[in-house]
């Protein structure tokens, strides 16, 4: 197998320098095997509490305060507009939803103690609220507040997968009916409708202050918020739920300070000096924590990312890549290990199918599907190229500036395709500009892709291949228009027909027609301070610091 050693080493150096500001003379990190890494790390759930020490596990006391760092500030804390990734932890403890999603099709009570479909047609759902819910101002949360919240998010235009919603109505003070335009069929919309809408008090809502000083019902309140600097959350001593405290609502710290710092060097200094309880370990610093100056001083965890990075071909009939033979030629010319070597051998792993194995419903039998994701075959690639309509044209690879992994994929792809005689050019855009460019099938031939779904694999796939996600009516985001493909996606994403088998059928068909190439997924490392006794993470792998256990001695 032909390797791109010189190119990969050059790319690895470029991206390491860009990401971390490392000096040119700095030595490369040691490349470790999975077994060597496993010996020095733990999964979060495996971290055991030392029973000989006093901790929040066996005490009603709280740790006085903790400090964590996230790399970007939330754009808004509003229940209607705060939808960006940095707000995930903050909003999940200051607001609450009707239900808490705990699996692909599993839901637990949060504000609603009971729920059921009202009719055989399943076009409306009844929710019965707990009778003692209050917000931080002491206002009781009733059915009318649920109506206000649902209508508010629907009117905001920011709700995702909300097309089934018709209206909400009060049945009685503690019972609300969510009326749908039709029965919810797809898994994503069900979750969006019932576990993603923050419920707030109409009496407390003030649009002028909602983005920086909102009023919620959750276990933590906002004590102080300084734009572009930090936010301090404090435990809500009047939290309404006293009888059945779920892990996501624990209050193991009196105060949680979150600093917004986008400099990895500053974050490292803050952690190693004892200021913060957690650090995302970047590729440059990993060896220091596993083998070097910080080895043995902290609890080091690893988790697989649900985000799979890859390539999506422009399948529009006007595009060169509408030729399946050309798509096969391109994908069989690539070797996922080349991308991993360039992006960071310790921090990425190869996909064996179209999604990361970290997604909750991943089935190991999917690893047996044979395709270009598991095999590089240059001779086969050349055979497909010979059968294609390709005639020396330059293919355009479109990519975003960030994350850097997408740029790595674009550059390695460009170099790899030269081996079989395909010329490429790379066009790099800011995120918003790339979204605009993706709506025009004449602007690209391939684009670098990624997916973010933690619960069901099909969602990661159908965001690329489902026509419902495309900006151009009747096409997917990479301009696939294939009724059979769409039928398979609909079956795999339906609440009644979803299964490992229907999901596998989507993958096999997509691979057979070279509609998508998922190349690699991340292995993310974190360091926890000595006073963290046990780590609590959601199914999505997000650490909830309020629910972690802490040593008090």
Sign of the CA dihedral with 497 first, then 501, 504, and 509 last? negative
Please tell me whether the peptide bond between 403 and the residue prior to it is cis, using omega within 30 degrees of 0.
yes
In the block, which residue shows the tokens 């509003």? 78
Tens digit of pLDDT at every position of the chain (553 positions):
323 333 333 333 333 333 333 333 334 557 788 788 888 888 888 898 998 999 999 888 999 999 999 988 888 899 988 666 677 789 989 999 999 988 778 888 999 999 998 877 778 999 999 999 999 999 999 999 999 999 999 998 777 778 899 999 999 999 999 999 988 888 888 888 899 899 999 999 999 999 999 999 999 999 999 988 999 999 999 999 988 888 889 999 999 999 999 899 999 999 999 999 999 998 889 999 999 999 999 999 998 988 899 999 999 999 999 999 999 999 999 999 999 999 988 889 999 999 999 998 999 999 999 999 999 999 999 999 999 999 999 999 999 988 889 999 999 999 999 999 999 999 999 988 998 999 999 999 999 998 777 888 888 787 788 887 888 889 999 999 999 999 999 999 888 899 999 999 999 999 999 999 999 999 999 999 999 999 998 877 789 999 999 999 9
Indicate the SS3 state at residue 15: helix
Closest CA to 544 of 58, 88, 218: 88
Q: Distance (Å, rounded) from C-alpha 84 to C-alpha 102? A: 21
Q: Distance (Å, rounded) from C-alpha 214 to C-alpha 208? A: 10
pLDDT the model gives residue 244: 80
pLDDT the model gives residue 214: 95
Closest CA to 130 of 72, 199, 210, 57: 199
CB atoms within 10 A of CB 22: 16
Q: Distance (Å, rounded) from C-alpha 540 to C-alpha 455? A: 7
Q: Distance (Å, rounded) from C-alpha 428 to C-alpha 356? A: 25
CB atoms within 10 A of CB 29: 21
- List, in order, residues 6 or more apart from 123 with CB less than 8 Å away: 179, 180, 181, 182, 183
- Give the H/E segment covering residue 281: strand 278-281
Axis-axis angle for helices 324-332, 378-387 (nearest 10)? 160
Radius of gyration of the chain (CA): 25
* DSSP type of residue 320: G
In the block, which residue shows the tokens 């600093």? 259
pLDDT the model gives residue 38: 81
pLDDT the model gives residue 83: 64
Indicate the SS3 state at residue 130: coil
Residues 193/117, Cβ–Cβ less than 8 Å = no
Q: Distance (Å, rounded) from C-alpha 416 to C-alpha 422? A: 9
Q: Distance (Å, rounded) from C-alpha 313 to C-alpha 514? A: 8
Tokens of 197: 């809408």
Residues 308/340, Cβ–Cβ less than 8 Å = no
Residues 549/533, Cβ–Cβ less than 8 Å = yes
Residues 218/200, Cβ–Cβ less than 8 Å = no
CA distances to 103, 186, 191, 498 from 195, rounded to whole Å, are 11, 14, 5, 19
CA distances to 14, 18, 377, 424 from 418, rounded to whole Å, are 20, 25, 14, 8
pLDDT the model gives residue 84: 65
Residues 5/413, Cβ–Cβ less than 8 Å = no
Tokens of 445: 């031939």
Helices (H), 292-426: 324-332, 336-343, 378-387, 404-418
Within 13 Å and on the Cβ side, how many CA atoms surround 267? Answer: 23
């Amino acid at each position: 197998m032909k390797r791109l050693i010189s190119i990969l080493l050059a790319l690895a150096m470029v991206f390491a320098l860009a990401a971390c500001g490392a000096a040119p003379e700095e030595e490369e990190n040691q490349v470790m095997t999975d077994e060597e890494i496993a010996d020095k790390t733990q999964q979060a759930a495996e971290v055991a509490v030392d029973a000989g020490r006093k901790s929040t596990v066996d005490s009603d006391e709280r740790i006085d305060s903790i400090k964590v760092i996230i790399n970007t500030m939330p754009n808004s804390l509003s229940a209607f507009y705060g939808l960006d990734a940095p707000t995930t932890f903050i909003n999940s403890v200051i607001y609450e939803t009707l239900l808490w999603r705990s699996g692909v099709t599993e839901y637990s009570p949060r504000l609603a103690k009971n729920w059921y479909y009202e009719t055989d047609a399943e076009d409306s759902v009844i929710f019965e609220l707990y009778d003692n819910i209050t917000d931080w101002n002491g206002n009781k949360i009733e059915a009318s507040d649920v109506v206000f919240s649902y209508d508010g998010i629907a009117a905001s235009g920011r709700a995702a997968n909300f097309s089934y919603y018709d209206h909400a109505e009060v049945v009685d003070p503690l019972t609300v009916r969510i009326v749908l335009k039709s029965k919810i069929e797809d898994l994503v919309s069900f979750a969006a409708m019932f576990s993603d809408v923050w419920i707030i008090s109409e009496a407390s809502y003030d649009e002028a202050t909602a983005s920086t000083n909102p009023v919620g019902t959750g276990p933590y309140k906002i004590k102080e918020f300084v734009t572009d600097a930090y936010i301090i959350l404090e435990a809500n001593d009047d939290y309404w739920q006293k009888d059945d405290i779920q892990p996501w609502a624990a209050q193991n710290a009196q105060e949680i300070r979150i600093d917004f710092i986008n400099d990895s060097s500053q974050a490292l200094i803050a952690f190693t000096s004892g200021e913060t309880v957690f650090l995302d370990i970047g590729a440059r610093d990993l060896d220091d924590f596993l083998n070097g100056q910080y080895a043995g001083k902290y609890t080091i965890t690893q988790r697989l990312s649900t985000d799979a990075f890859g390539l999506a071909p422009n399948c529009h009939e006007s595009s060169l890549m509408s030729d399946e033979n050309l798509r096969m030629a391109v994908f069989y010319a690539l070797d996922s290990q080349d991308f991993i070597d360039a992006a960071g051998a310790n921090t990425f792993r190869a996909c064996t199918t179209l999604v990361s194995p970290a997604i909750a419903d991943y089935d190991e039998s999917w690893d047996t599907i044979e395709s270009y994701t598991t095999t590089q075959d240059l001779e086969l690639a050349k055979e497909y190229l010979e059968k294609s309509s390709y005639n020396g044209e330059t293919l355009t690879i479109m990519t975003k500036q960030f994350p850097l992994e997408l740029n790595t994929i674009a550059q390695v792809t460009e170099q790899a395709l030269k081996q079989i005689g395909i010329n490429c050019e790379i066009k790099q855009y800011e995120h918003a500009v790339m979204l605009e460019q993706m709506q025009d099938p004449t602007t690209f031939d391939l684009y670098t892709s990624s997916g973010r779904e933690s619960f069901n694999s099909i969602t990661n796939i159908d965001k690329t291949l489902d026509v419902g996600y495309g900006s151009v009516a009747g096409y997917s985001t990479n301009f696939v228009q294939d009724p059979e493909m769409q039928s398979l996606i609909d079956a795999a994403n339906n609440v009644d027909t979803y299964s490992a088998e229907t999901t596998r059928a989507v993958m096999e068909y997509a691979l057979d027609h070279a509609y998508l190439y998922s190349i690699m997924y991340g292995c993310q490392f974190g360091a926890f301070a000595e006073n963290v006794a046990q780590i609590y993470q959601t199914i999505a792998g997000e650490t909830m610091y309020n629910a972690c256990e802490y040593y008090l001695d």
